[in-house]
Structure 1
């Protein structure tokens, strides 16, 4: 059993991971988010909610006390600042294992027309900030895994494959449920994919853009 701190616990992927962790594991969960009223606790014996901002190092350090794994499901214009603060808080508290959700395209690794589509949709403040945040994580010295999902769907399916940093990205889409499943696997096996940056896609979804465009 591990103690897991989920940052950005009200996110869609985070909620799916929380559900799977409660049903498939015995881990203790700390759910960290800016507005605690937005979240309902599903199991009071295994979960606690902490209200705080991921750019507040003191709040993060308090939440990290006694934890084993940090799963960061963060994302907005402050993502680089969040990355720097999470890294600083983990170093201050001696925590090493970090699972960091990012996005595809941060290494310009998406080929062809889909890569062009991705740039058109994400350039101008989004892709650049996620790229900067990933650089912070990679330079942190922590036992990190970066997860780079394809465009996300709400399909009720768990089907995915991964690519490594330096390899062309595959596919155009992946379900949030698939990303949650990968996160749970990473939490369950702390040695899995340490120091790796994983592109994640649903097999056989190659194309110029996701199916809903």
Structure 2
């Protein structure tokens, strides 16, 4: 039985991952979020809910004990959060870290989607995510960075992956697809170790006009 630590457990992707892990595996989940009241317990025997701030190194040190995989789906000061997570994982000799972020970390997203993403997120915030990724990639962890296209709540699972160094393809991706990739990584972390994967829906390169109209 694997012990899985989910940081930012109230996020929509994290909830999908939680439900699938409980249904499809025998893993024990430790779920960390700011407000424990926001997340009902699905399985009292297989879930431990911890209320706290992921920027708290002492909290991280406590919840990291005996974990096999750490999955982080966070918002905020990303570079600081990444550094603290890396430091505690390194000290506790926990290797696998799944880190979910957006596309454009390496300016790999073609135009006009690249500029649209940068404008939507904000340049300062995007630079913060790049610094966070650099912290993780400079570590000795067996990290898996997931660079997601614009996320939707479509329940369909349909995705393609690109590697670091390749041009990003597509403009949208369902959260269900991201959750599916996370389940695959948890099942076999070694297969994906020290990778940075772009994820998008195949054939979605022409969806930018629709996205811009919906978010104008």
TM-score (norm 2): 0.95
Please state how far the C-alpha of 1:190 moved relative to its aligned partner.
Answer: 1.8
After superposing on structure 2, the runs of 4+ consecutive aligned residues of structure 1 that deviate more than 6 Å are none
Q: How does 1:1-213 map to 2 (within 5 A)?
A: 1-76=1-76, 78-207=77-206, 209=208, 211-213=210-212
Q: Distance in 2 between matches of 1:211 and 1:5?
A: 36
Structure 1 residues without counterparts, runs of 5 or longer: none
Please state how far the C-alpha of 1:209 moved relative to its aligned partner.
Answer: 1.5
**Residues 69/210 of structure 1: CA separation in 2 closer, same or farther (3 Å cut):** farther
- CA deviation profile, 1:115-154 (whole Å, cap 9, x unmatched): 2222222233221111110001001110100000100000
Q: Distance in 1 between matches of 2:191 and 2:209?
A: 29
Please state how far the C-alpha of 1:112 moved relative to its aligned partner.
Answer: 2.2
Contact kept in structure 1, 2:90 and 2:140, CA below 8 Å: no
Structure with a larger share of its residues in helix:
2
RMSD: 1.2
Please state how far the C-alpha of 1:79 moved relative to its aligned partner.
Answer: 1.0
**Residues 208/39 of structure 1: CA separation in 2 closer, same or farther (3 Å cut):** closer
Q: Secondary structure at the match of 1:128?
A: helix
